[in-house]
Structure 1
Amino acid sequence: MKDQFSLAHLTALACPPPTLTYIAARAGFDFVSIRPICMGLKNEPDYNLASNKKMLRQTKTALRETGIQVLDIELAKIVDGMDPKQYEPAFEVGAELGARHVLCSVWTDDLVFATDRFIQLCELAKTYQLSIELEFVPVASIATLAQAVTMLTAAAQDNAGLMIDSHHFHRSKENVNDLKKIPANWFHMFHLCDASKEIPASREQMIQIMREERLYIGEGGIPIKEILREIPKIPYSLEIPHLQRTKELGFEEYARRCLQSAKEYISLNLDDVNIY
């Protein structure tokens, strides 16, 4: 199976989904990963396709004209008091666009509540033929690989998966060998990026790098080769936001260089791997 790549929305978040799709096609991607669920962060654009019917039609047109597919939508956050049904309009849109997965992360310390809501999200997603991909984030409540594995094991849902982001894996100081213990069928997609080897001491600096200063593949110090050798061959979603570079290069050229760095790195480092 050939390597497949998705352009993650955070890499070019200023671009609405139709624009992102055309950029992904021209840059050589196979998929797009879009964010129709706004996280409510300062200055973040809102691409609520469930309510913006014009943009939804434009996105469908872009997908049809380019042949690009939607890999996943994001982000179904589990926070205190949340109701999984609030994400159903986005799930419906995701299914309408042909998405396969929904990213999920946990931001409440009540893990009994979080596990219950995760199960409900999976049940809801199943009606739309979507999987829920649990992502551990070093600044969230589910912050480590072990915590994510514990929740997935407790939830025991057949449409749940583990979504690893190479940035988060490194920042959480994970051991690559622990990936050998993960069931292969938990892996459906992977967030690929690079970053400096040095781990920021402050939460604020980590968030800034996470959202604004990730690096081309092979440019930083994350042990990407070692990580990818321990997981099946799955689509790589390139989540590599870098505000200064996109400002200098423009979104399309920057996306093209992100993809080029990933392909070159994998060709040089992983062609000899017997991926299962």
Structure 2
Amino acid sequence: MPLREHLSELRRRIVLAALGVVAGATVGWFLYDRVFAALQEPLLSVAEERGSIVSVNFAGLITAVDMKFKVAFFIGVVLSSPWWLYQLWAFITPGLTRKERRYAYSFVAAALPLFWAGAAFAALVLPNAVRVLTEFTPEGATNLIDAQTYLSFVMRFILAFAVAFVLPVIMVALTFAGVVRARAWARGWRWAVLTAFVFSAVMTPTPDVLSMFVLAMPICVLYFVALGICVLHDRRVDRQRDAAGLPRLDGSWPSEPDPEVAA
């Protein structure tokens, strides 16, 4: 596909994904009160445990309205995740055949629960992070946390882990589409593990190492599961092309040494 058509397809998919997020945000506008109460719950729990004042503070005149828009957008991203995840896969493989459409549905079916699992996992860790960070408040002092700072942190925290859990599915999607071979993922496993731990260290604002490991290990496990699926897929495709007398996806023939192994 020419570059101009690629850009046109990218623009179309972005517009469709954005419309889905806007539709979800419209629903999120009416769910704001419930979601805000859930996001604020870790702070209220800490305040109740310690018998101190720990609460969210709206400092500016338009802060409350601004946060309602942001939280509604956050809800829209979560609610419309099936739609924009499909748009992502549809852009990777434009002009889908009937078989590729089944792959697209499988991609969304696998990515969606992982996206929600990542968000749920972050939500489980969040109360501990809030508890540790508020422990530095001197006894008898009042901790009024800026609403913009707190809610933005919570939403980024949840979305970051939701997206991180989807990345292994994107690995499999790119391999099934023939864009990236499994050997390329295998060669970069050390960097993938390092990235997972660095990401977890940055996204867990608690000083203990255990939280970092608890968050990094599921990402590493998902990476290696995805790598195994990619390896099995490439082997199956290579056997089929060998039987048909066609060159493999990397351009080699069965009798030739693997260029990537030789390198």
TM interval, shorter chain, is under 0.3
- Larger helix percent: 2
- Larger strand percent: 1
Q: TM-score, normalised by structure 2?
A: 0.22
Greater C-alpha Rg = 2
Q: TM-score, normalised by structure 1?
A: 0.21
